[in-house]
A and B are shown apart, each in its own frame.
Chain A
């Protein structure tokens, strides 16, 4: 007997982004992977996150400037590579695979996208974009890492150009040179070294992506957008951040499955490799299925962003609603199927579990993204 798929396709064309990887993307992947294998192996990452300098400046320079990853989203005339979200997504897949501690997502994607959304032709925004694209400086958007959208970003207040307020849980603020601060009076670019700015590091669940509380006490900065343009720009940054985070989650899940398969093929118990037990095999095969699906969802989000499709917000919400869970599931299975060694500090599985779990909250939880979907496709709550 033969299984059948659901209803056959309609004849009308269905516009879809390309979900495969191009040769250029594979070349970029190979370059990033080789660099990370060389400079960010697991023991190195563990040692680094316990030090006072969580980010390795040499690794960042090689990734951001030498490979040119920091400027992928920035047009060439502003000093970037003029590539697209697809390429940036490939970089994030690799960064997810290595849980490398670098401010790529926060500076090269989210902060960069906020500035790009302002569509400035010259002045401080263009100057800062050029520096971010070259990897000379990094920036962080001063909103909580868990904020799903611009309207939940709790802006600081600004009175006659002096900023007041406390923003909690800002990712990569501790290592950033510049903070992009949404306020009631518009968006400000504030040097972290400026007077009246205190960045207090927090003890974060995810050791590889530092969080800090930003306290602004009469700080001054450059106002780069008025309130009316700031809100959509911040929204755009958070949308792209959420969309491309799915690719990082895909990378995390892939590493977790690959390592678990490798380990269970080698580890013997009851006179057999543990990977030959059906109860374990099925769990790994199930993860593979989820990863196949997560790849399609993540590629679709990057592709819809790249084409500027009106469906991009839906594609991003679908990717986040799906990929968050896949990364967490893969990391949890990785710890479990590694048995005792999965619980140790020296094995890197815990880094992935912590990153996956933190990522599931970043830029909105899966549940929050499902609410967005409910609105977009008109499946209202009771």
Chain B
């Protein structure tokens, strides 16, 4: 059955929700639950799972109506991994039972998710992962080590990929699970970074038992399932709308205006070049946003991620230099665990160090360039010598 969803209908439903649950007098979580149940959480999701089977581009109708009414939002930054990665994967590969169980508390923010993919020996070459899952009756017993796991210390659930058949080539013997982070054998340790703080964790899995009912997709097909997760990760990057001088360039431009004593001709030339590049990156982001609104998604998201990684590093590097003597100082090396990473907060030294991760996290710039070259431009793939070799026979 085809149902059409004019914006007016979406607006009507949103106003109904607001009338039944006035934001001023409704508890935040209760409001979010009601919004989910009304199908206005992510309107492109199925009816009963927070959506209306409506076109995704109409979501902005809901969002702007709710923002205007001062309704609480679901804090997508803290629960970003659940929303951006776990949810689309559960939706596509989960059983009805799994969808019922996981999507609502995930969207409402009652349950935080993390992602157990990367390993010390499997970063960009993710399919080389060595964490083992061995079948034992109705369960799987998992042993291994994961790394770069944000939110692991607050997460209730994790999406996990593990090797279930080492005799197959590396992409084929992987399965995809939902791991309960409160189970025995899951140990989370903070991973202190270059900045001094610990945004991420190492996760050690020792004899963790995962019931087979928490597997997503067929045994051995986990790589394919993970592609859904990773595609969604890239889509979620670079979609935000920013005003002119909205990112790091705004901070350095303000310093330039307020502190004439720091100005040199060399820095002026570099500042102007970066100002132009930041403005052009902003315009590219806007063009991508307009494409998505018009229902024409393009590969430009990869471009945005690459552009911001490079720009953030260059701008923050320039800023440290501009500050001269002050640039020699650093705010605080004490190890703490930030709830959110604030890229434009703290000081220039922090921004400089943290931005070094921008070209590594979420796919290194080098890997993204390969993806652009092969998938967008159609250039021939890299030669592979690991494609038909059993994982256990690969050199490590």
A-side residues, CB < 8 A to B, are: 1-12, 14, 16, 18-20, 257, 261, 264-265, 272-273, 275-276, 278, 281-282, 284-286, 288-289, 292-297, 299-300, 318, 321-322, 370-371, 373-374, 377-382
Please choose the segment from B49-57, B163-171, B366-374 that sits at the chain A interface, where 4 or more of its residues have CB less than 8 A away: B366-374
Return chain B residues, CB-CB under 8 Å to A2: 80-81, 84-85, 115, 150, 233, 236-237, 361-362
Return chain A residues, CB-CB under 8 Å to B378: 261, 265
Q: B101 contacts the other chain (Cβ, under 8 Å)?
A: no
Are A1's CB and B377's CB within 8 A? Answer: no
Interface of chain B residues 259 through 305 with chain A (CB within 8 A): 260, 263-265, 268-269, 271-273, 275-277, 279-281, 283-284, 286-287, 290-291, 294, 296, 300, 303-305
Are A264's CB and B379's CB within 8 A? Answer: yes
With A285-B377, A379-B271 given, name 8 new contacts (CB 8 A). A3-B363, A7-B242, A7-B343, A10-B246, A12-B243, A281-B374, A288-B303, A382-B268
Are B240's CB and A289's CB within 8 A? Answer: no
11 contacts between A and B (CB under 8 A): A1-B115, A1-B362, A2-B80, A2-B236, A19-B286, A264-B379, A272-B383, A281-B370, A285-B369, A318-B280, A379-B275
Closest to A264 in B: B379
Are B305's CB and A3's CB within 8 A? Answer: yes
Q: Which of B67, B115, B150, B373 contacts A284 (CB 8 A)?
A: B373
Please choose the segment from B126-134, B205-213, B306-314 that sits at the chain A interface, where 4 or more of its residues have CB less than 8 A away: B306-314
Return chain B residues, CB-CB under 8 Å to A8: 77, 240, 242
Are B343's CB and A18's CB within 8 A? Answer: no
Are A10's CB and B272's CB within 8 A? Answer: no
| Separation of A135 and B81 alpha carbons in the complex (Å) | 58
| Separation of A379 and B253 alpha carbons in the complex (Å) | 7
Known: A7-B247, A276-B379, A289-B306. A370 touches B276 (CB 8 A): yes
Are A370's CB and B272's CB within 8 A? Answer: yes
| Separation of A8 and B237 alpha carbons in the complex (Å) | 11
Return chain A residues, CB-CB under 8 Å to B309: 3
Q: How far is the CB of A6 from chain B (nearest CB, A)?
A: 3
Return chain A residues, CB-CB under 8 Å to B374: 281
Known: A3-B361, A5-B240. A382 touches B265 (CB 8 A): yes
Chain A to chain B: the 4 pairs with minimum beta-carbon distance, closest first: A6-B247, A3-B362, A9-B241, A281-B373
Q: How far is the CB of A45 from chain B (nearest CB, A)?
A: 25
| Separation of A20 and B382 alpha carbons in the complex (Å) | 34
Q: How far is the CB of B202 from chain A (nearest CB, A)?
A: 12
Closest to B200 in A: A1
Are B276's CB and A275's CB within 8 A? Answer: no
Q: Which of A9, A289, A300, A321 contacts B276 (CB 8 A)?
A: A321
Q: B238 contacts the other chain (Cβ, under 8 Å)?
A: yes
Return chain A residues, CB-CB under 8 Å to B237: 2-5
Return chain B residues, CB-CB under 8 Å to A370: 269, 272-273, 276
Are B241's CB and A292's CB within 8 A? Answer: no
Return chain B residues, CB-CB under 8 Å to A265: 378-380
Q: Which of B148, B272, B373 contacts A373 (CB 8 A)?
A: B272
Known: A3-B305, A284-B373. A276 touches B380 (CB 8 A): yes
Known: A4-B343, A282-B366, A297-B283. A11 touches B243 (CB 8 A): no
Return chain B residues, CB-CB under 8 Å to A378: 257
Are A293's CB and B272's CB within 8 A? Answer: no
Q: How far is the CB of B344 from chain A (nearest CB, A)?
A: 5
Are A9's CB and B242's CB within 8 A? Answer: yes
1/0 contact string of B52-75 vs chain A (CB within 8 Å): 000000000000000100000000
Are B287's CB and A6's CB within 8 A? Answer: no
Are A299's CB and B287's CB within 8 A? Answer: yes
Q: How far is the CB of B171 from chain A (nearest CB, A)?
A: 20
Are B246's CB and A374's CB within 8 A? Answer: no
Known: A276-B383, A282-B366, A285-B370. A7 touches B246 (CB 8 A): yes
Q: How far is the CB of A57 from chain B (nearest CB, A)?
A: 38
Known: A1-B148, A7-B247, A281-B379. A379 touches B277 (CB 8 A): no
Q: How far is the CB of A318 from chain B (nearest CB, A)?
A: 5
| Separation of A294 and B279 alpha carbons in the complex (Å) | 11
Return chain A residues, CB-CB under 8 Å to B377: 257, 261, 284-285, 288
Closest to B118 in A: A1
Are B379's CB and A297's CB within 8 A? Answer: no
Are B344's CB and A261's CB within 8 A? Answer: no
Are B273's CB and A278's CB within 8 A? Answer: no
Q: How far is the CB of B271 from chain A (nearest CB, A)?
A: 6
Known: A14-B241, A19-B287, A264-B379. A293 touches B344 (CB 8 A): no
| Separation of A276 and B384 alpha carbons in the complex (Å) | 12
Closest to A14 in B: B243
Q: B6 contacts the other chain (Cβ, under 8 Å)?
A: no
Return chain A residues, CB-CB under 8 Å to B67: 11
Q: B341 contacts the other chain (Cβ, under 8 Å)?
A: yes
Are B380's CB and A272's CB within 8 A? Answer: yes
| Separation of A378 and B253 alpha carbons in the complex (Å) | 9
Interface of chain B residues 221 through 243 with chain A (CB within 8 A): 233, 236-243
Known: A1-B149, A261-B379, A276-B380. A282 touches B373 (CB 8 A): yes
Return chain A residues, CB-CB under 8 Å to B24: none
Closest to B117 in A: A1
Q: B102 contacts the other chain (Cβ, under 8 Å)?
A: no
Are A296's CB and B280's CB within 8 A? Answer: yes
Are A296's CB and B286's CB within 8 A? Answer: yes
Known: A1-B362, A272-B383, A284-B379. A379 touches B283 (CB 8 A): no
Known: A276-B380, A289-B307. A6 touches B280 (CB 8 A): no
| Separation of A281 and B370 alpha carbons in the complex (Å) | 7
Q: How far is the CB of A304 from chain B (nearest CB, A)?
A: 11
Are A322's CB and B276's CB within 8 A? Answer: yes
Closest to A275 in B: B379
| Separation of A381 and B268 alpha carbons in the complex (Å) | 6
Q: B256 contacts the other chain (Cβ, under 8 Å)?
A: yes
Q: B376 contacts the other chain (Cβ, under 8 Å)?
A: yes
Q: B381 contacts the other chain (Cβ, under 8 Å)?
A: yes
Q: How far is the CB of A298 from chain B (nearest CB, A)?
A: 9
Are B284's CB and A292's CB within 8 A? Answer: yes
Are A289's CB and B303's CB within 8 A? Answer: yes
Return chain B residues, CB-CB under 8 Å to A292: 284, 300, 303
Closest to A370 in B: B272
